[in-house]
């Protein structure tokens, strides 16, 4: 039996620096370790002792790609302590802001970071030579997502206009005019470009995942809802720690989040949202999904590329709806009255469920902070995919082709969009073989 060891020294960044180690015997993975050299979560320490009002500005700096997700989870958690509930135009504006982040984040991943895997290019720059229209449309769509974040958040990166209780300032209706025109252009151009993506070669690989996401009775999940799973779980956000836990594993500094019941992995992100809440998508978005040959559920992680396209289209449609119905509220925020307490919230970052929990004292100082990002929840599932994918791969591919096997392992990891640097196509692998 042939034995080989795949060792990736640096996997760029996956919520920090990472590496990949795989032991293969014959056509099966004997050991898979996604090693992440993630430093301690200093942001949780930074937050202790700070005023509750500083939370959105501090947490926005955790991620340059998904700052809105961190802001939304943090402000909603604080508002749950203070008894504030977002309604009307302020609630709609927060939904619009999140749409902007979905558009720019999904657009970057889908077209610039993951598409080269399917088209056989080392990066988007090389891909652009032969697929100029694909890249230009992607950049246009991403720019619109950034324009939404800039208009509502004050700037594209690490927005500064979100506060506990609402916003520091809300736009005039006229400020959305140019944005609305661009959104409609993108909505109309997007179906054609996704037909190109539809024709990518997707491995026919599926698994029986336990999907986990938010669930809202009326809407496709973004900012609000209970936490549900495809295996029957249904809990409030403040019960998260009763059913899930982060655990240390010996080969990585990153924490793996698993279900407490059986220490089982689960899957958060676009496939989870789509597969459990397809019926909450607007009819035109459902039609768009069917046009990509997707069904109402999807268990193929490689087709997450198509599902991200569906969510971009949804976010474009939803953003247009919000803007067309927008009337400037009389006040930019709801006045807050400080009280001690503990609050939890989860929202749907582009990559999946993002959980925050805070405890504050009677003066509004933060006593404790807990932040669980989507990537820590997906890490064990990523490893399980590789365990299952390698024997699947061996049925149709040459296991002795080290370079192609390496690329396929990279592609499998990038299905999850675990972090922007994870998809930069700079992996060095050492492969050692021996005969048993």
Q: Could you list the pLDDT tens digit for every one of the 436 residues in the chain? A: 577 776 666 553 334 566 778 888 888 888 888 877 655 557 788 899 999 999 999 999 888 788 999 999 999 999 999 999 999 999 999 999 999 999 999 998 899 889 999 999 888 889 999 999 889 988 999 999 999 999 999 998 899 999 999 999 999 999 999 999 999 999 999 999 999 999 999 999 999 999 999 999 999 999 999 999 999 999 999 999 999 998 887 776 677 889 998 889 999 999 999 999 999 999 999 999 999 999 999 999 999 999 999 999 999 999 999 999 999 999 999 999 999 999 999 999 999 999 999 999 999 999 999 988 898 899 899 999 999 999 888 887 877 777 788 788 888 988 998 853 322 223 333 444 444 4
Looking at the domain assignment, is residue 114 inside a domain? Answer: yes
pLDDT at 13: 34
Q: Strand, coil or helix: what is 286?
A: helix
- C-alpha 202/C-alpha 127 separation (Å) is 18
State the total domains in the chain. Answer: 1
CB-based contacts of 355-362 (< 8 A; 24+ apart in sequence): 355/73, 355/237, 355/240, 356/59, 356/70, 356/73, 356/74, 356/76, 356/77, 357/77, 357/238, 357/240, 357/241, 358/47, 358/52, 358/55, 358/74, 358/77, 358/78, 358/81, 360/52, 360/78, 360/81, 362/338
Tokens of 117: 């895997």
239 inside domain: yes
Domain enclosing residue 125, as ranges: 42-380
Q: Is residue 62 part of a domain?
A: yes
Whole-model pTM: value is 0.92
DSSP E strands: which ranges in 26-108?
28-37
Residue 233 lies in a domain: yes
Would residue 328 count as lying in a domain?
Answer: yes
Residue closest to 308 by CA, chosen among 101, 56, 23: 101
Are residues 346 and 353 in contact, defined by beta-carbon separation less than 8 angstroms? yes
> Would residue 281 count as lying in a domain?
yes
The CATH number of whichever domain residue 74 belongs to comes to: 1.10.645.10
Q: Alpha carbon 420 to chain centroid distance? A: 11
44: number of Cβ within 10 Å? 17
Name the β-bridge partners of 37: 17
């Amino acid at each position: 039996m042939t034995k080989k060891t795949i060792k990736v020294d640096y996997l760029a960044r996956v919520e920090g620096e990472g590496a990949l180690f795989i032991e293969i015997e014959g056509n099966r993975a004997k050991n898979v370790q996604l090693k992440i050299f993630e430093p301690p979560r200093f942001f949780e320490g930074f937050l202790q002792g700070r005023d509750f009002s500083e939370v959105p500005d501090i947490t926005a700096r955790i991620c340059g790609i998904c700052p809105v997700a961190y802001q939304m989870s943090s402000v909603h958690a604080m508002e749950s302590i203070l008894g504030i509930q977002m309604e009307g135009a302020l609630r709609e504006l927060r939904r619009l802001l999140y749409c902007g982040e979905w558009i720019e984040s999904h657009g970057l991943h889908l077209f610039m970071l993951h598409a080269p895997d399917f088209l056989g290019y080392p990066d988007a720059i090389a891909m652009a030579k032969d697929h100029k229209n694909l890249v230009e449309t992607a950049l246009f769509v991403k720019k619109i997502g950034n324009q939404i974040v800039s208009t509502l958040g004050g700037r594209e990166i690490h927005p500064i206009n979100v506060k506990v209780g609402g916003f520091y300032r809300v736009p005039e209706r006229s400020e959305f005019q140019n944005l609305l025109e661009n959104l409609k252009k993108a909505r109309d151009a997007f179906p054609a470009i996704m037909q190109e993506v539809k024709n990518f070669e997707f491995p026919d690989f599926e698994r029986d995942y336990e999907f986990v996401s938010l669930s809202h009775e009326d809407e496709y999940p973004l900012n609000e809802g209970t936490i549900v799973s495809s295996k029957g779980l249904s809990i409030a956000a403040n019960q998260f720690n009763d059913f899930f836990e982060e655990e240390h594993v010996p080969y990585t500094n990153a924490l793996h989040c698993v279900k407490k019941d059986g220490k089982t992995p689960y899957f958060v992100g676009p496939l989870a949202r789509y597969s459990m809440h397809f019926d909450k998508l607007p009819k035109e978005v459902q039609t768009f999904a069917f046009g990509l040959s997707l069904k109402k559920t999807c268990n193929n992680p490689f087709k997450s590329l198509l599902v991200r396209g569906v969510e971009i289209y949804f976010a474009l449609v939803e953003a247009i709806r919000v803007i067309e119905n927008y009337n400037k509220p009389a006040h930019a925020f709801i006045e807050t009255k400080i009280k001690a307490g503990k609050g939890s919230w989860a929202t749907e970052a582009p990559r999946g469920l993002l959980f925050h929990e805070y405890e504050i004292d009677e003066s509004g100082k933060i006593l404790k902070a807990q932040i669980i990002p989507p990537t820590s929840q997906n890490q064990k599932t990523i490893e399980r995919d590789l365990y299952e994918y390698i024997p699947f791969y061996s049925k149709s591919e040459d296991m002795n082709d080290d370079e192609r096997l390496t690329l396929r392992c990279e592609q499998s990891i990038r299905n999850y969009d675990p972090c922007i640097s994870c998809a930069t196509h700079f992996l060095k692998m050492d492969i050692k073989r021996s005969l048993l």
